[in-house]
Amino acid sequence: MHAVFPDSNGTCASCIGTAGVLYKHLRVHPLARAGGPYLIAGMNPTHPTPPAAAAGTATLLLYNYIDDYEARRLAEALQVLPPEVHTLHLRIHSPGGEVYSGFALYHLLRGLHARGVTVHTYIDGLAASMAGIVALAGARVHMAQNARFMLHRPWAALQGTSDVLRDNATELDSIAQQLVTIYAEKTGQPEAAVQALMQGETYLTADDALALGLVDALTDAVLQSDLQDAATGSAAQQAPAALYAAYTPRATAEPGQPVLNEALRMLRSQLAEAETALQALRAELAQKDAEDLVAAAVAEGRIARAQQAGFVALAQQAPHTTREVLAALPTRSAAPTLAARIQAAHGTDTRSTWRFRDWEKRDPAALHRMRSDDPARYERLYRAQYGTA
């Protein structure tokens, strides 16, 4: 599948794609631009800066666009989650992202329950599209009073043959049904009601989300200063060393750079495909122009029909020169008919008005043949001229 573009409002929908996603100015928290989600251990989920760490808990921030790169970073942290951690708090502020990456995070988080880890998710600002699906992976979903939850149908920007587009449309419908199932299981709402909400981009307030059953509890507004202190202050230093190292921004890779590199590669590939298609279209148009030019020359009698194929090939190689050559050739009228040739040799044929004496003077041989071939006509002309046979 091909590159996926963000919505015009700057927040990307649930998108099909590889890591190749182009995004402009997504409304992403500044912490995400500084290196993606941060691991913070021992945080009280209702207030991010407690005076002391709570034993057996860990907190992750998912404040970014969801793609393969971000999913891998979160998966790396979950793989080294210390055995003493029994409660994980995931704080979310995300415009959504790619469907498959979102599903990977959803199933990773759900799988923690089998390890004895209870996951609580917190929607701090925006949980749009696949970010909302990730939020629903929590055993209990919390939402800040002034946050927003957005759900809609998946979409993709694609190119290809009609068969490719039909196949991808089928895949989009299948994904849409998977999303409907997840929402319906969480809320207890009929699938038809969920589908109605997904027809457009439906933004829900915290109260609306709670009433629908998408979230289980409301929290106070999350303060930016609290999150900044939590990510960079003493709370972050309390994280287990292996877990914190796995999720600390790496100096060797700028956040989001693999995504941008992949998007650039896809754009270049699409540009090459477009140039190839344009060249094919130009060749097709040149062929049509050459055929029309030579067909007109044949119709005007400038060249014979047997020369048509050769002049078409010449016109494709040198259209301007061929046009000039054909224009310089004289036109040839159609071959004269037999009647026209007779008329040209003998002048206007007025024999129907000839009298007997005219035949005698102008064509006596024909008059002699008429006597044997058409005696009635001969006799009529003779009587008209001389009165007796």
Distance, CA of 379 to CA of 310 (rounded, Å): 63
Spatial distance between the Cα atoms of 135 and 220, rounded to a whole number of angstroms:
17
| CA pseudo-torsion sign 362, 366, 372, 376 | negative
pLDDT of residue 265: 81
Query: What distance lies between CA 176 and its chain's CA centroid?
Result: 18
In tens, the pLDDT along 111-143 reads 998 888 999 999 999 999 999 999 999 999 999
Segment 3-54, tens digit of pLDDT:
333 332 333 333 333 322 322 222 223 333 333 333 433 333 333 333 233 6
Provide mean pLDDT across the span 152-163.
Answer: 84
Sign of CA dihedral 345, 350, 352, 358: negative
148 backbone dihedrals φ, ψ, rounded to 5°: -135, 145
* Residues recognised as catalytic: 129, 152
What sign has the CA pseudo-torsion 82, 85, 87, 93? negative
Range 30-254 has CATH code 3.40.630.30: no
Residue pair 15/97 in contact (Cβ under 8 Å)? The answer is yes
pLDDT tens string 300-352: 888 888 888 999 999 888 988 988 898 888 887 544 554 555 455 555 557 88
Return the higher-pLDDT residue of 377 and 50: 377
- Token pair 């939020």 is found at 135
Q: What residue spans of the chain are helical by DSSP H?
A: 30-33, 68-79, 99-111, 130-135, 162-187, 191-198, 206-212, 224-232, 234-237, 241-247, 257-299, 308-317, 319-328, 338-346, 356-362, 364-373, 375-386
Q: Which residue has the higher pLDDT, 210 or 17?
A: 210
Domain ranges of the chain: 30-254, 270-328, 338-386
The Cα–Cα gap between 48 and 63 comes to: 15
